[in-house]
Structure 1
């Protein structure tokens, strides 16, 4: 447990070496990384898996969550842990905080890997609207309502064991975590979506070397990524795209070994190096 003003953060830590911070998605917590963190740590890194505000076993004095609340929390946590600069891996809702850190405080990030979320400079298209159909029920989430359907097809490539789902959802038995669902969606996700739709990030430049990873079965995103992320060199110094077969949105459960492999390769290639002149874009969209 790490104490910062107004927050008691639960952080799982393992390994020794350069710091790597793993930011979980929704409705998950630090345990999302249980099959990935050991591989990264074994490669010579010290891995930090914090439960972000409104998730896991982190406790907040003030339950209100705004668009950049988790960024302030993360910066406070990094300072408390004496981490000046770290490698960054994020998934789903955790990527919102990764966006903020990479754009606002690039000096704190060596290299970043973001999972199952397009770059912040994406453009909106009617073709990706099905990717948002799961949001309205979460915006109107009622305390006590089950979120087990979040881990069903089409969000996973294969059925997830019941005990795994229960472990992901265990913190929701705490009232403050259950009521935070609406707060996260209304206070952070919706305002961030508006910022993305306005093109705010397309007026900025991403300087942190970033790898974007999608499961092939993460539809509609993987099918239309090339369309919504055209001309990436205009918006980023160094960004690449990778695709994992037999994986959907919850890629850390579907393909943990491949996620760890891609992550370590990216850190080795670009964590300490200057960006290359040429920026690669997503592969062309293939006919369905």
Structure 2
């Protein structure tokens, strides 16, 4: 097990920074100059998931900043604050701490869940959003409510994260939990991820307090449904999104069943663009980086 967070400060053309935002300290890998694009990773990952997008965005004239979400990587890991309201405030505060008044927010998985929330929770800093492998949260909840069979199978992993202490032990004991999840959610037979990628993510998940923080994200998603904060979340997310939205999903995503991924456009009143990548699983930007970059960069260039 890595002794400290040095293992996640992976060398590359980017610059590593620590910024204070929303009462915590966040690690950001930054590259390029121009309009800010904030990149939010998913589970079980950290900022390094965007290693193929950072140089592409910088070369295209953007300032790309991939942050470690609260509780992950080299960012602070406080015991609380894993509700979506706080996580959206984290992202907005990081944008301001980087000296920008607004940003395009790009997220994958749980990072996309946060990105979907930004236009209603943090509208002043949200110029546009791009969401990868995650439908609008209310569309996803509706799919679960109607018991879509493939989505129910995906929800078994979500249910497993609700158990006290058990998932934390599973995630930190060895690399098998992370390996099963990465391979189980990626395209079958694709060969992704290779062993070195599995080990890097497993090492990052084994850092102190990361596994607990990761589980807390999903515990809030489930448990808030029957509480007042869950009702506030649903009411806030029911507001239509007026900023441009790019939505990209894999055609064989086994984390979010294809039949449950539709309907996000009903929550968008602004320009909406959706693409399905055939033969690609949940980790679209890593399994098919060229295809994702080929969609993301022209979309960014077309933004007002």
Considering the TM-score relative to the shorter chain, is it more than 0.5? yes
**Structure 1: how far apart are the matches of 2:105 and 2:226?**
22
Deviations 1:121-154 (A, max 9, x none): 4232322323322212222213334332111134
Deviation at 1:220, TM superposition (A): 7.8
Give SS of 1:243's match: strand
Query: Structure 1: which 5+ residue stretches go unaligned?
Result: 273-288
Query: Structure 2: which 5+ residue stretches go unaligned?
Result: 1-17
Answering whether residue 163 of structure 2 is matched by residue 137 of structure 1, we say no
**Structure 2: how far apart are the matches of 1:102 and 1:263?**
19
* Contact 1:15–1:42 (8 Å) recurs in 2: yes
Answering whether residue 99 of structure 2 is matched by residue 82 of structure 1, we say yes
**Structure 2: how far apart are the matches of 1:234 and 1:2?**
33
Give SS of 2:184's match: coil
Answering whether residue 263 of structure 2 is matched by residue 229 of structure 1, we say yes
Deviation at 1:105, TM superposition (A): 2.4
Deviation at 1:62, TM superposition (A): 4.4
Deviations 1:86-127 (A, max 9, x none): 112100011222122122223322221100011244232322
Deviation at 1:217, TM superposition (A): 0.9
Deviations 1:134-181 (A, max 9, x none): 212222213334332111134344231111111123222221112213
Candidates 147, 158, 164, aligned match of 1:126: 147
For the structure 1 residues 118 and 193, does the alpha-carbon distance in structure 2 shift closer, same or farther, using more than 3 Å as the test? farther
Answering whether residue 268 of structure 2 is matched by residue 251 of structure 1, we say no
**Structure 1: how far apart are the matches of 2:46 and 2:226?**
22
Give the root-mean-square deviation of aligned CA atoms: 2.6
TM-score normalised over the length of structure 1? 0.83
Give SS of 2:37's match: strand
For the structure 1 residues 154 and 147, does the alpha-carbon distance in structure 2 shift closer, same or farther, using more than 3 Å as the test? closer
* Contact 1:120–1:201 (8 Å) recurs in 2: no
* Contact 1:31–1:168 (8 Å) recurs in 2: no
Q: 4+ residue stretches of structure 1 with deviation over 6 A?
A: none
Deviation at 1:188, TM superposition (A): 4.4
* Contact 2:22–2:89 (8 Å) recurs in 1: no
Q: How do 1:95-134 and structure 2 match up within 5 A? A: 95-122=112-139, 123-124=142-143, 125-127=146-148, 128-134=151-157
Counterpart in the other structure of 1:172: 205
TM-score normalised over the length of structure 2? 0.79
Which 10-residue stretch deviates more, 121-130 or 107-116?
121-130
Counterpart in the other structure of 1:206: 241
Deviation at 1:260, TM superposition (A): 1.0
Answering whether residue 71 of structure 2 is matched by residue 54 of structure 1, we say yes
**Structure 2: how far apart are the matches of 1:42 and 1:193?**
46
* Contact 1:17–1:44 (8 Å) recurs in 2: yes
Counterpart in the other structure of 1:266: 299
For the structure 1 residues 256 and 189, does the alpha-carbon distance in structure 2 shift closer, same or farther, using more than 3 Å as the test? farther
**Structure 2: how far apart are the matches of 1:193 and 1:266?**
38
* Contact 1:22–1:88 (8 Å) recurs in 2: yes
Counterpart in the other structure of 1:277: none
For the structure 1 residues 40 and 138, does the alpha-carbon distance in structure 2 shift closer, same or farther, using more than 3 Å as the test? same
Counterpart in the other structure of 2:13: none
